[in-house]
């Protein structure tokens, strides 16, 4: 992890968004661009930087990650989603990352091991 990297935090699970985006740019064939409905993800975040919302480009795809089997959460793009909602836009472009695609971007060994345990408990 490099100083200044964007990190998505979800409790002990911290994903390096900067590294995910870099990898996606280097390996575009591994990722499929999809469309997601804005309403399906509204209310998934608690606080946003209000002044930042106006500056975001809603044409830039958001990133959603499979956080448990079949369950996807936004890990990059909450401000874009909120802006789309305010503008009445119904869908946004999104990259849908499966667990195999995003697990390597956890920022700590402790988080990685806990994530493996968490996933295994969901598969039982």
Q: What is the mean pLDDT of residues 87-92?
A: 95
**Mean pLDDT confidence for 109-113:** 90
Q: Is 49 exposed, middle or buried (0-12, 13-18, 19+ CB in 10 A)?
A: exposed
Q: Mean pLDDT of all residues in the chain?
A: 89
Model pLDDT for residues 20-59, shown as the tens digit of each residue: 999 999 999 999 999 999 999 887 655 777 778 888 999 9
Rg of the Cα atoms in the chain: 15
To the question of domain 7-123 being in CATH 3.90.1530, the answer is yes
> Which two structure tokens, joined as six digits, stand for 32?
């499929």
User: In the predicted model, what is the mean pLDDT of residues 75-93?
Assistant: 93
Q: With contact defined as beta carbons under 8 Å apart, do 11 and 41 qualify? A: no
On whether the pTM is more than 0.85, the answer is yes
For position 11, what pLDDT does the model report? 82
């Amino acid at each position: 992890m490099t100083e200044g990297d964007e990190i998505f935090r979800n409790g002990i699970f911290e994903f390096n968004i900067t590294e995910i985006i870099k990898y996606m740019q280097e390996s575009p064939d591994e990722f499929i661009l999809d469309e997601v409905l804005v309403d399906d993800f509204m209310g998934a975040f608690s606080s946003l930087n209000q002044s930042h919302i106006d500056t975001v480009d809603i044409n830039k795809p958001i990133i959603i990650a499979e956080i448990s089997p079949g369950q996807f959460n936004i890990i990059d793009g909450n401000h874009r989603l909120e802006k789309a909602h305010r503008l009445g836009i119904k869908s946004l472009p999104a990259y849908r990352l499966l667990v195999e695609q995003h697990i390597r971007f956890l920022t700590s060994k402790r988080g990685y091991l806990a994530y493996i345990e968490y996933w295994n408990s969901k598969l039982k």
